[in-house]
Structure 1
Amino acid sequence: MSDRPGFRPPDKPATQGLFAGLAGPAYSRRAALLSLGQEPRWHRFLVDRVPAGPGDRVLDVATGTGAVAERLVLERRCAVTGVDQSLEMLDAARARLADAGLAQRVTLVRAEAERLPFADASFDGLTVTYLLRYVDDPAATLRELARVMRPGAPFASLEFGVPPRALPRALWRLYTGAVLPAAGAVVGGAPWWRAGRFLHRSIPDLYRRHPLPALLELHRAAGLGELRVRRLSFGGAVVIWGRRAG
């Protein structure tokens, strides 16, 4: 499905600047607070969908401050490679993992999801968080993610969602349009206010360009099968999981 007329994907330098202002030791605490405590639950659900184990290598794309990478190591005892395009986020992840005593279990790499610096079939599992809103070509990005997974490897991806039912959707619009930016300004100042405004626009933009059934078709076309979907928090988050085709 093509982008709607007049749509411009988020400018990468602009989004990198946005994340640079958010990165820091308080990021995960503020993100959990502004998600009304839901984001840690989403991360648990995501990691539970990837049955990796000791000796496996898992790629965590858009690792941010390393929250999912940390959970993978603690719960799955696997080795993790975390990828992000933001140096500031990677610095925050490095500090977080060092504080948790996990620095030797996670390799952090600065790279773009569209051009991963890894050989074919390098990883035994994949996790992805909040990625597809930021890429120009989701289909090509999904193909690149599938390329670095071994056949049969499990994957799970987490995106923000728009609740499908009328009342939760109206409350979601009120929260993301007014409450979230204001609360962000209170807990984190101007960078978090800007992030709240950005989320209010960019989340529905993704689904206007690529409704959920179309996103699933893009996954299948990329070689990702056995797909399942779960909406969490009344649809405020969406997890897609499955396996790399053999």
Structure 2
Amino acid sequence: MTMPRTTGSPGNRVAREVFADLPPRYDRLSWLLSFGQDRRWRRAVVARIAGGQPRRVLDVATGPAGVALAVARRTGATVVGVDLNEPMLQRGRRTVEAAGRTGEVVLVAGRAEQLPFDDECFDAVCFSYLLRYVDAPAEALVEMTRCLRPGGTMASLEFFVPPAAGWRAAWRLYVSAVLPVAGWMAGGSAWWRVGRFLSRSIPAHYRQYPLDWHVRAWEQAGLRDVGWRLMSRGGGLVMWGTKEAAP
């Protein structure tokens, strides 16, 4: 195992700063933003990972370890969760301990762009709500694929912008007006700031990196059979692919 070579990028610093005050109630924020759908989205990712019957799984941007725990419960695999936000990791460690899974889920600090692992050492890789917080999403995909064994599965969950005009208009109203206010009422000024940030960052990301870009980036990283599914009228995006075998 090698250690990260640098401390972070501007995108990484945004992730640290925006979510610094939220770990104890992070799951509630995901529930608010997704109208309570995030658990169903996560189950879709876990199902993709579980289909390959992995024994060792990497969960990048693990946050408070919700997906890592779900994968461990579903598969019995050893799961290594990585996040650059230390307060999130501390919360995750307490959650893992409370769930009695300290022998199956291990949490370490690290960056998606410079993962502290050897090549091809995981049977599956998953990540959630990550690509808006790295400066070079394609490079992060390449780095995560590096850690995946040939034939292994990668799956991800991200927020998305609904493609249908009516749902998109309702979504924009919600994230720009309702979400910041709801965040402030639920958790004060820190949540208001996060609500405002998300209302700008999600559409900005897909203006720069539309869905077809994501598919091509996965393929160029070395993944085949890349598929995707829009969740909850397009509020969420689940993607998956299989690492190509070496020639």
Partner SS, residue 182 of structure 2: helix
Displacement of 1:14 in angstroms is 3.4
- Aligned partner of residue 119 in structure 2, secondary structure: coil
Tell me the C-alpha RMSD between the 2 structures: 1.4
1:38-53 correspondence to structure 2 within 5 Å: 38-50=37-49, 51-53=51-53
Name the amino acid aligned to 1:79: T
Listed as ranges, the matches of 1:160-239 within 5 Å are: 160-239=159-238
Residue aligned with 1:82, SS: strand
Aligned match of 1:77: 76
Equivalent runs, 1:4-153 vs 2, <5 Å: 11-24=11-24, 26-50=25-49, 51-53=51-53, 56-153=55-152
In structure 2, distance between residues paired with 1:212 and 1:10: 23
User: 1:11, 1:68 → 2: CA distance?
Assistant: 22
Give 1:13 deviation, angstroms: 2.3
Q: Deviations over 1:29-58 (max 9, x none)?
A: 34224421111111001101112436x100
**Cα deviation 1:119-144 (Å, max 9, x = unaligned):** 00010001110111111111111110
Secondary structure (helix, strand or coil) at the match of 1:151 reads strand
Looking at structure 1, the residues matched to 192 and 43 of structure 2 have their Cα atoms a distance apart, in angstroms, of: 27
Contact map agreement 1:52 1:78 (CA 8 A) in 2:
no
- Write the letter of the residue equivalent to 1:158: L
Contact 2:141/2:217 (8 A) holds in 1: yes
Distance 1:14 1:142 in 2: 19
CA distance in 2 between partners of 1:139 and 1:31 (Å): 25
TM-score, normalised relative to structure 1? 0.92
Q: Is the CA contact 1:125–1:155 (under 8 Å) kept in the aligned structure 2?
A: yes
Give the conservation status (yes or no) of the 8 Å contact 1:52–1:58. no
Q: Distance in 2 between matches of 1:72 and 1:188?
A: 29
> SS of the counterpart of 2:53?
coil
Q: Aligned residue pairs: how many?
A: 236
For 1:19, give the aligned amino acid.
F
Distance 1:11 1:129 in 2: 15
Q: Secondary structure at the match of 2:148?
A: coil
Residue segments in structure 1 that go unaligned for 5+ positions in a row? 1-8
Counterpart CA distance in 1 for 2:143 and 2:44 is: 24
| CA gap 1:211/1:44 in 2 versus in 1, 3 angstroms | same
TM-score scaled to structure 2, two decimals?
Answer: 0.92
Q: Tell me, which stretches of 5 or more residues in structure 2 are unaligned?
A: 1-8
